[in-house]
Homo-oligomer: A and B are copies of this chain.
């Protein structure tokens, strides 16, 4: 029991992954550069990463609205990759190269405070990924980045994408916990607000560098989360770990 979990009610912490735990922008830029420069392409690889990522929410939205059936994030990433390669006038790649480049999302590096912070939190809490990434992607990413999950939950187990309510509901049900025994941890207010509407407690850990040196989006008004912490060291301390 701590100031931020005053009744000791929280049993599990559920985590957003892309942006909150791992630095997709640097990792994707590096992966693309390492694969495509030797093939003769010189581009702004951070811009390439940004453009690939910007196609993420529109692709998810079609699944959320039922315009297209459940499709795994690996497959959406691949469709978006083909579009962004075209946009950057990168052509002639072999299928195996495209597949390998798409798997750069399985090899994202964690922010520097994440692995130690999760290790501390795991002593006291159940730790679960609650991501839009499919299970296979999350398994590979956890092994690459050293994320010590007790369980991988998320979109694929619910058949739709965050912030749809089913994703949070299914996560709590699979853990056999009441929503109020779960605390969502994310760098994105929309994710936390959606979790809170399903009864989760919430912890906000901003990642101002997620999109690089550009100014971060301001936290929307009304985002009075249960915990705010500047990084995972502080999160662990605030939760008594």
Contacts and interface: CB of A to CB of B under 8 A. Distances in A.
A151 B175 contact: no
B134 A176 contact: yes
Contact of A139 (B142, B156, B175): B175
Nearest to A134: B176
A157 interface: yes
Contacts of A135: 151, 174-176
A70 to B, nearest CB: 12
A126 B150 contact: no
B152 A151 contact: yes
Contacts of A149: 150
Contacts of A74: 176
Contacts of A175: 135-136, 139
Given A156-B174, A176-B74, A143 B136 contact: no
Nearest to A150: B139
Interface string A154-192: 001100000000000000001111000000000000000
B150 A142 contact: yes
Given A136-B174, A151-B152, 13 more contacts: A72-B176, A74-B176, A126-B139, A126-B143, A134-B176, A135-B174, A136-B176, A139-B151, A139-B175, A142-B150, A143-B150, A151-B151, A157-B157
